[in-house]
Amino acid sequence: MRPRYRVVASLSRLHHNHRTFLTSPSSSDEGFDFIFYMTNKAKSINKALNDAVPLCKNPLVLKIREAMRYSLLSHGKRVRPVLCLAACELVGGHESTAMPAACAVEMIHASSLIQDDLPCMDDESLRRGKPTNHKIFGEDISILTADAFLALSVEHTVAATSKDVSPARVMRAVLEMMKAVGTEGLVAGQAADLAGEGKCFEDNEVSLEDLEFIHIHKTAALLEAAAVMGGIMGGGSDEEIESLRRYARCVGLMFQVVDDVLDVTKSSEELGKTAGKDVIAGKLTYPKVMGVERSKEYAKRLRREARVHLQMFDSDKVAPLLSLADYIVQRLN
Amino acid sequence: MRPRYRVVASLSRLHHNHRTFLTSPSSSDEGFDFIFYMTNKAKSINKALNDAVPLCKNPLVLKIREAMRYSLLSHGKRVRPVLCLAACELVGGHESTAMPAACAVEMIHASSLIQDDLPCMDDESLRRGKPTNHKIFGEDISILTADAFLALSVEHTVAATSKDVSPARVMRAVLEMMKAVGTEGLVAGQAADLAGEGKCFEDNEVSLEDLEFIHIHKTAALLEAAAVMGGIMGGGSDEEIESLRRYARCVGLMFQVVDDVLDVTKSSEELGKTAGKDVIAGKLTYPKVMGVERSKEYAKRLRREARVHLQMFDSDKVAPLLSLADYIVQRLN
């Protein structure tokens, strides 16, 4: 059966997004074309994601699969799966070995976005310019779709990973991924985020600790899992895997600091989404806690820290991960 | 920290439930005290479940953990985990080897009940006489709680299973469990059930095939996973595991046929829950498709089939699973 949603449009949009975000050429490694790298990786990832969620004939399952494909194959920068593949290659593995894990991480990301958008959560009608999943398929199907992604993320990692990777390594990767979902990951982050909105923090008793808790769980945990899973699948040593973890945690926090700063400093037009939303929602943000300038400094310090964690690796292999960190922080310029 | 919810009340209620349901003594194996067996197993299971979801100090995570414990440690017959432990013992394993998997299956069951009760699904206010999870904790927390259970079910199976079980077996068990959750299991069953309510089937184009699809996915799949996981953890051969699968599929369907028949033949008082609900909701049921008498015959045929699938095992070890099948069908008397 032919797929309903095409990935081609998504890819050209991805390329466009990269050009827009990167206001200056990637400076970290001269000669390394980061845009070309990301676009190529995203192409392989989109192909693998398309294959991982086939449509089916049974009309009772078809709707779920359509809802999965609607969210999974929509425009996305694929930062998490690229990170997973790059980590795998950095420790000497082949892209294809980490591809099932990379897809799994993107499924979890899709699942969390579907849930965050629900009326009882952030109540969003649009995401990346398209109606949110529940606006198209209904709340009930959206909730089931999010479950289906969680289940498939594990199934896909276990069943699609090459037989050359030991079951013990696959198990370790799955454990990392599920930790990033549950009460040590996304679930805790979203619960904290909901608690942090509006009333709970109106007394200004907002601490950097609360904020870091939210973002370490809501954003950094899955980026961390992506990098760590790549390292595990690629056959990395424990030391290499822990360095990847620390690198990814810095990148995850930096990602959020930059997002928060852009929300208060850029116009909706520049952002391609509604600006100032966090302020309106009374959300806890870095600029709110430490001001815009100190937030920018913090993002840059996190980039420096991220680079330090990559020092143990061969300098000629580290360009993709260095550039990824630069890519995120350069959006501030 | 002391647990907030106690399992003692739940156990005495369980014992009471068994006495109520079993209108005649278990006839399959004279000398085997099924009630004693179930009560004992449920006691170990409740202890393990209590330990698997500890409360924590962080207030941002505490609410999720409280919501998890509210649903997981409530009164339940623990049919699925008992089936898992009994299957493990049947193939020669020790109860403790399958306990993490048994707990995981019950977590998934709890997760699916929380979701089924949501306003956008079956919109239930009460379950087993207590307010449903979202009535106490809110829809947002309930949805996150259901996710947390899915993640924890995998984490717990992987991390808590004895090191004596090979990672390959643990992975195989996890794969079975996730298949029972996704588009080959609960998700498909619930989607089909939602599609089958009201309008879609008012044209009477209801087939036994549609009905079996719903129940094989919504009820039988998780019972099947429970038995198969027990067989895998206990070190069973492929042939033994497949026999357990076929047995559990019969039991799963039988479970649903009996439930459907009771809904139309018993009063709310006799059932301990609202009778006739399926009819009011326009749900697809066995009595609707094949009438009450043929449904009863079908349940008995499924029991006979379930027994056939156990013939390959030692007759002196098979009493718990034989009695479990009897226990379910005897509710018809």
Q: Which chain B residue is nearest to residue A187, measuring alpha carbons?
A: B144
In a domain, A94, yes or no: yes
pLDDT over 80 at B5, yes or no = no
Mode of pairing for the β-strands spanning A130-131 and B126-127? unpaired
Confidence of residue A288 (pLDDT cuts 50, 70, 90): confident
In a domain, B1, yes or no: no
Mind listing the pLDDT tens digit for each residue in A115-131?
999 999 999 999 988 99
The alpha carbon of residue A85 is apart from the nearest alpha carbon of chain B, in Å, by 22
**If you average pLDDT over residues B137-156, what whole number do you get?**
98
Q: CB-based contact (8 Å) between B208 and chain A? A: no
Which residue range(s) make up the domain with B146?
Answer: 8-332
Q: CB-based contact (8 Å) between B264 and chain A? A: no
Q: How many CA atoms lie within 13 A of A202 on its CB side?
A: 6
Please report residues of A whose CB lies closer than 8 A to that of B69. Answer: none
Window 140-179 of A: residues touching B by CB (8 A cutoff) are 140-141, 143-148, 150-152, 154-155, 158-159, 166-168, 170-171, 174-175, 178-179
pLDDT over 60 at B20, yes or no = no
In a domain, A3, yes or no: no
In a domain, B39, yes or no: yes
Q: Which chain B residue is nearest to residue A146, measuring alpha carbons?
A: B147
In a domain, B174, yes or no: yes
**What string of DSSP letters covers A12-32?**
HHHHHHHHHH-SS---SSTT-
Cβ-defined contact of A174 to B154 (cutoff 8 Å): yes
Highest mean predicted confidence (pLDDT) among A97-111, A319-333, B252-266, B274-288: A97-111
pLDDT of residue A202: 47
CB pairs under 8 A between A and B: 165
Q: Which chain B residue is nearest to residue A193, measuring alpha carbons?
A: B60
Confidence of residue B24 (pLDDT cuts 50, 70, 90): very low
Q: Which chain A residue is nearest to residue B120, measuring alpha carbons?
A: A140
B182 with B154: CB under 8 angstroms? Answer: no
* Overall number of domains in chain B: 1
User: Residue B271: which CATH number?
Assistant: 1.10.600.10
In a domain, A24, yes or no: yes
Cα B218 to Cα B36: distance, rounded to the nearest angstrom:
29
Confidence of residue B208 (pLDDT cuts 50, 70, 90): confident
Q: CB-based contact (8 Å) between B195 and chain A? A: yes
The alpha carbon of residue B40 is apart from the nearest alpha carbon of chain A, in Å, by 31
In a domain, A55, yes or no: yes
**If you average pLDDT over residues B276-289, what whole number do you get?**
77
Mind listing the pLDDT tens digit for each residue in A238-268?
999 999 999 999 999 999 999 999 988 877 6
Smallest Cβ–Cβ distance between B171 and the set A144, A171, A188 belongs to: A171
Tell me the pLDDT of chain A averaged across its residues: 86
In a domain, B220, yes or no: yes
**If you average pLDDT over residues A281-298, what whole number do you get?**
88
Cβ-defined contact of B183 to A115 (cutoff 8 Å): no
Mind listing the pLDDT tens digit for each residue in B154-181?
999 999 999 999 999 999 999 999 999 9
Cα B258 to Cα A138: distance, rounded to the nearest angstrom:
32
Please report residues of B whose CB lies closer than 8 A to that of A64. Answer: 183, 187-188, 191
Window 96-125 of B: residues touching A by CB (8 A cutoff) are 115, 118, 120-121
Please report residues of A whose CB lies closer than 8 A to that of B195. Answer: 59-60, 63
A201 with B177: CB under 8 angstroms? Answer: no
The alpha carbon of residue B160 is apart from the nearest alpha carbon of chain A, in Å, by 11
